[in-house]
Chain A
Amino acid sequence: MEPARRALIRGRTGRAALIALPLAFLGAFFAYPLIAILGRGLVPRGHVDFAAIGDVLSDSSLREVAWFTLWQALLSTALTLVIGLPAAFVVARFAFRGRMLVRSLLVVPFVLPTVVAAAAFEALLGSGGPLASLHLLPGLAAILIAHVFFNVAVVVRVVGAVWTNLDPAVEDSARMLGASRLRTFTDVTLPLLAPAIVAASSIVFLFTFSSFGIVLLLGGPARSTLETEIYLRTTELLDLRHAAALAVVQIVAVVGALLLLTRVQDRMAIGQRQVSGRDTARPPRSIGARAFLAVTLGGLGLLLGVPLLMLVVRSFSNGGSGGGPSLAAYRALSQPGSALFVSPLVAVRNSLLFALLATVIALVVGGAAAFALAPRRTGARRALDVLLMLPLGTSAVTIGFGFLIALDRPPLDLRSSPLLIPLAHAIVAIPFVVRAVVPGLRSIDPRLRESAAMLGASPARVAREVDLPIVGRAFMVAAGFAAAVSLGDFGATAFIARPDSPTVPIAIFRLLSLPGRLNFDRAMALSTVLMLLTALVVVGLERLRVGALTEF
């Protein structure tokens, strides 16, 4: 082989060698715990034993859990579409004052921690709340409403993006050729939107299938999904064998769903969404259109705004002793109180610390992965890409459970390490980091790198002088994602948090599950604090406005 070619390959190999770090990291902290789960569930006593899985499939209450998980996810997805499609239409097609603000605000529920959303619905639908008489809490209705609350943003963003770019001339042609408005919609618009609708539905389905915090806090004892069952079996019944079996079923279901959905998407040839920059939004002209706009926006505002408003309002409650609002609950945050070992403010400190550590880890590992993945797509790179996305499909509960049973003994004994929780958060966050940084890297004009090389920069220097500064923005977005994921994580932390160092979501969970006005008020105050923290991070992201947020 020629020396020149060898030199070139050496440079490319250096880049590819970067993949070693993410692979080792995921191997130790994702694959290893996952294998431990499979081991517990399928090989409990040294030989393969499907008894535990058999129990899951034959035990009627466990089968019911699996079935409930499936149909509530389907129902939630359907409801989200019903509410989200009109919203997508309105935001995509109508120009009105505050349109961009609405688009940004829609994302806030999506990135809100699940415990905060649960607390908001407790404030609205639970005892003492304005809608308490409807008796929707706990129960299926509360779960469904909360799911729609979370996921409307997905439909509006994903479908809306395509809807905005639809050429109105196509629809006009249909009308000129004799199709009524309805006919145009069903025969022309809908088929064009179908790939985006499928994409949005699959995301919503996956999220609601793995929903944990919402079901745990709002569902009551009669409603249990695979996720909550794994948690309850572990903490209440210490039945790790069946918990592991359930986790296996969950993983299989999610992987199966993902494969099915990618196949459907491939067939629909969605590909990358091209930002055409064309905006077909027009101000509403007819009375009907204006009414439709008003009703839809009003409905959206109610659905998304009222629960959060109730949360904030009730955080200023003064313990039911009459009179006006007070800061009593907030002041009480600095005292331990009976239920928590430490004061809620210490939980805030813990959350911030863990978020910082998790973000750093996720940026380093995810950044290395992004650098290795960014160049021309080869078959090997595509496979690696899928591999790195796996933690996204695996729920946080599974990751937390895996950490619990795998990382408390050699070779990786991290039970008392302060890094345990940040590592779990980082695993969940890394796919987001990669998704945010890779497009940025790919957008760099290769001639910039070549210019730098001609001016004397070695390959490592080129990465530092050209790639890194240009993707700096993408890294900021990625950091924001990672921090938001870490601050709000509940599913993984529920398994591995030590009772003497809770995070904010854990503290809120404890406060909500205990009776007593004081605990409830403090839960409201703490949730408001967490909501503000998360909103700060997310709004900061939106201002940086890299396309990453719209790419799911």
Chain B
Amino acid sequence: MRRLLCSIAVLALALTSAGCGSSASTASGGNGPQTITLLTHDSFAVSKPVLAAFTAQTGIKVKVLKGGDAGAELNQAILTKSHPVADAIYGTDNTFLSRAIDAGILEPYTASDLAKVPKALQLDPTHHLTPIDYGDVCVNYDGAWFDAHHVAPPRTLGDLTKPAYKNLTVVENPATSSTGLVFLLATVARYGDSGWQTYWKDLKANGVLVQPGWEQAYDGSFTAGGGGGKKPIVVSYASSPPADVVYSSPKKSVPTVKVLPDGCFRQVEFAGILAGTQHRDAAAKLIDFLLSLKFQQDMPLQMYVFPVRPDAKLPGIFTKFAYRPATVLSLPPATIAAHRDAWIGTWNQLVVH
């Protein structure tokens, strides 16, 4: 009995020390090869050679920690403020900008190429967050489906509430998806304070399906998403058409996924250094890298977003098929910060219950 207890104690000690070794950041802050952790949302992607080039250049290895959708990821970072789980964070967007800055989880840093970013996208004058990419959240529809069913495709947001388009739309839950949240903000911007609630009541009456996230909505429920979905109308991005071509099988030469010209809302994504990191310099180099041409030009085909740098060359498929809306809806970040939670709560009551 005693021997059993002793061996268990030794085992526990050994496993604990082994466990301690695999925590996020290494303790060394010196000149040797460092490893830093980047906290991102689930949709982050970067091609291996580009990331490897960064490591080769700077000697810094990057571990990517995916923390759920953008909101959950940010909340994680805030809840672990005193002992951050990573050194830098990517994926906070303009809808959560104020929450991130007010929570005090970031350290200010002016990236080396920041001057190259258009002023309109530099939404944080304090430089706690650096803009990296933007996308336009728009309603997409499956052109092929509408052709096959001899139905005229929708043209405005209001069309979605018409009986002709009953039970054809899938949206994302704004509480759990940043895409869904941005679309909710689009309806607020479009219809005003009380109008948006009527809009959603009508949408619900018209049989809208709610999915928790973009992947479930697009891959799972959208007819052109490849997952055998039944809904030909989905809330997605203006950059979905190029993705449709790239991922089509058999290969398409022209996308069948089209974008509704009405109701696009611009979403800008940011990156920042997490306060309390032991590797501030390495994290700063990472932010510079995210704003470097190499990464900016790799992003479109990885994450299907637009680079903030106008001097970044877009891949041909993007220039050909990505939708550039003439006008986009927007709301001031302060307004978003003040009402976001209340709007989500109201939305929840209107649509889910």
Chains A and B touch each other in the complex, with CB atoms below 8 Å apart: yes
- The stretch among B121-129, B183-191, B198-206, B345-353 that forms the contact with chain A is B345-353
Find residues 33-90 in chain B having any chain A CB closer than 8 Å to their own CB. Answer: 37, 39, 42, 63, 65-67, 71-72, 75-76, 78-80, 82-83, 85
Pairwise interchain contact B42-A357, C-beta atoms closer than 8 A: no
Pairwise interchain contact A415-B82, C-beta atoms closer than 8 A: yes
Pairwise interchain contact A516-B16, C-beta atoms closer than 8 A: no
Instruction: Give, as a whole number of angstroms, the nearest-CB distance from B212 to chain A.
Output: 7
Using a Cβ–Cβ cut-off of 8 Å, how many residues does chain A contribute to the interface with B? 41
Find residues 443-493 in chain A having any chain B CB closer than 8 Å to their own CB. Answer: 469, 472
Chain A residues within an 8 Å CB radius of B82: 408-409, 413, 415
Instruction: Give, as a whole number of angstroms, the nearest-CB distance from A261 to chain B.
Output: 31
Contact of B99 among A61, A238, A515 (CB under 8 A): A238
A217-259 vs B, CB cutoff 8 Å, 1 = contact: the mask equals: 0000110000000001011111100000000000000000000
- The stretch among A154-162, A374-382, A495-503 that forms the contact with chain B is A495-503
Contact of A232 among B9, B175, B227 (CB under 8 A): B175
A412-426 vs B, CB cutoff 8 Å, 1 = contact: the mask equals: 010110100000000
Pairwise interchain contact A357-B349, C-beta atoms closer than 8 A: no
Cβ of B113 under 8 Å from chain A: no
Assembled-state Cα–Cα distance A64/B83 (Å): 36
Contact of A339 among B8, B11, B19, B66 (CB under 8 A): B66
Contact of A498 among B12, B63, B80 (CB under 8 A): B80
Pairwise interchain contact B71-A236, C-beta atoms closer than 8 A: yes
Pairwise interchain contact B1-A357, C-beta atoms closer than 8 A: no
B314-352 vs A, CB cutoff 8 Å, 1 = contact: the mask equals: 000000000000000000000000000100110011001
Instruction: Give, as a whole number of angstroms, the nearest-CB distance from A119 to chain B.
Output: 17
Chain B residues within an 8 Å CB radius of A232: 175
Contact of B16 among A341, A357, A404 (CB under 8 A): A357
Assembled-state Cα–Cα distance A472/B22 (Å): 36
Assembled-state Cα–Cα distance A339/B44 (Å): 11
Cβ of B249 under 8 Å from chain A: no
Instruction: Give, as a whole number of angstroms, the nearest-CB distance from A541 to chain B.
Output: 17
Chain B residues within an 8 Å CB radius of A60: 349
Contact of B23 among A221, A353, A413, A501 (CB under 8 A): A501
Known contacts A60-B349, A360-B8; A514/B42 CB under 8 A: yes
Find residues 291-311 in chain B having any chain A CB closer than 8 Å to their own CB. Answer: none
Pairwise interchain contact A61-B349, C-beta atoms closer than 8 A: yes
Pairwise interchain contact B341-A239, C-beta atoms closer than 8 A: yes
Contact of B12 among A237, A339, A360, A469 (CB under 8 A): A360
Chain A residues within an 8 Å CB radius of B20: 418
Pairwise interchain contact A341-B175, C-beta atoms closer than 8 A: no
Pairwise interchain contact B42-A516, C-beta atoms closer than 8 A: no
Cβ of A286 under 8 Å from chain B: no
Known contacts A222-B352, A356-B15, A404-B79; A499/B65 CB under 8 A: yes
Instruction: Give, as a whole number of angstroms, the nearest-CB distance from A144 to chain B.
Output: 19
- The stretch among B214-222, B232-240, B260-268, B278-286 that forms the contact with chain A is B214-222
Name A127's closest neighbour in chain B (CB-CB): B220
Cβ of B114 under 8 Å from chain A: no
Cβ of B210 under 8 Å from chain A: yes
Contact of A500 among B11, B42, B85, B173 (CB under 8 A): B85
Pairwise interchain contact B72-A235, C-beta atoms closer than 8 A: yes
Cβ of B24 under 8 Å from chain A: yes
Known contacts A236-B72, A472-B1; A499/B85 CB under 8 A: yes
Name B5's closest neighbour in chain A (CB-CB): A360
Chain A residues within an 8 Å CB radius of B8: 356, 360
Contact of A501 among B22, B71, B175 (CB under 8 A): B22
Find residues 28-80 in chain A having any chain B CB closer than 8 Å to their own CB. Answer: 60-61, 64
Cβ of A350 under 8 Å from chain B: yes
Instruction: Give, as a whole number of angstroms, the nearest-CB distance from A507 to chain B.
Output: 13
Assembled-state Cα–Cα distance A498/B80 (Å): 8
Known contacts A418-B16, A500-B65; A515/B219 CB under 8 A: yes
Cβ of B110 under 8 Å from chain A: no
Cβ of B98 under 8 Å from chain A: no
A333-359 vs B, CB cutoff 8 Å, 1 = contact: the mask equals: 000001101100010011011001100
Assembled-state Cα–Cα distance A109/B76 (Å): 32
Contact of B212 among A234, A352, A415, A513 (CB under 8 A): A513
Assembled-state Cα–Cα distance A136/B65 (Å): 34
Pairwise interchain contact A516-B215, C-beta atoms closer than 8 A: yes
Pairwise interchain contact A237-B11, C-beta atoms closer than 8 A: no
Chain A residues within an 8 Å CB radius of B344: 237
Pairwise interchain contact A221-B210, C-beta atoms closer than 8 A: yes
Assembled-state Cα–Cα distance A207/B323 (Å): 52
Cβ of B248 under 8 Å from chain A: no
Chain A residues within an 8 Å CB radius of B1: 469, 472
Assembled-state Cα–Cα distance A219/B345 (Å): 19
Known contacts A221-B352, A415-B83, A515-B227; A238/B19 CB under 8 A: no
Pairwise interchain contact A353-B16, C-beta atoms closer than 8 A: yes
Known contacts A500-B24, A514-B215; A357/B85 CB under 8 A: no
Pairwise interchain contact A61-B85, C-beta atoms closer than 8 A: no
Assembled-state Cα–Cα distance A167/B350 (Å): 58
Chain A residues within an 8 Å CB radius of B72: 235-236
Contact of B42 among A234, A338, A342, A408 (CB under 8 A): A338
Contact of A61 among B15, B176, B210, B345 (CB under 8 A): B345
Instruction: Give, as a whole number of angstroms, the nearest-CB distance from A478 to chain B.
Output: 14
Name B23's closest neighbour in chain A (CB-CB): A500
Pairwise interchain contact B19-A515, C-beta atoms closer than 8 A: no
Pairwise interchain contact B11-A356, C-beta atoms closer than 8 A: yes
A174-185 vs B, CB cutoff 8 Å, 1 = contact: the mask equals: 000000000000
Known contacts A238-B78, A360-B12, A416-B83; A221/B173 CB under 8 A: yes
Pairwise interchain contact A353-B15, C-beta atoms closer than 8 A: yes
Instruction: Give, as a whole number of angstroms, the nearest-CB distance from A220 to chain B.
Output: 9
Chain A residues within an 8 Å CB radius of B76: 235, 499
Chain A residues within an 8 Å CB radius of B39: 499
Assembled-state Cα–Cα distance A357/B8 (Å): 10
Pairwise interchain contact B85-A237, C-beta atoms closer than 8 A: no
Name B79's closest neighbour in chain A (CB-CB): A404
Most chain B beta-carbon contacts within 10 A, residue among A353, A404, A409: A353
Chain B residues within an 8 Å CB radius of A236: 71-72, 75, 175-176
A-B pairs, 9 with minimum CB distance = A416-B83, A415-B83, A353-B15, A515-B215, A500-B24, A238-B75, A515-B216, A341-B65, A221-B352
Binding site for A on B (CB under 8 A): 1, 8-9, 11-12, 15-16, 19-20, 22-24, 37, 39, 42, 63, 65-67, 71-72, 75-76, 78-80, 82-83, 85, 99, 173, 175-176, 210, 212-213, 215-216, 219-220, 227, 341, 344-345, 348-349, 352-353
- Other than the given A61-B349, A238-B78, A415-B80, 17 more pairs (CB < 8 A) read A61-B345, A221-B352, A222-B353, A234-B75, A341-B63, A349-B15, A352-B15, A353-B19, A356-B15, A360-B9, A415-B83, A469-B1, A499-B65, A500-B23, A500-B65, A513-B212, A515-B227
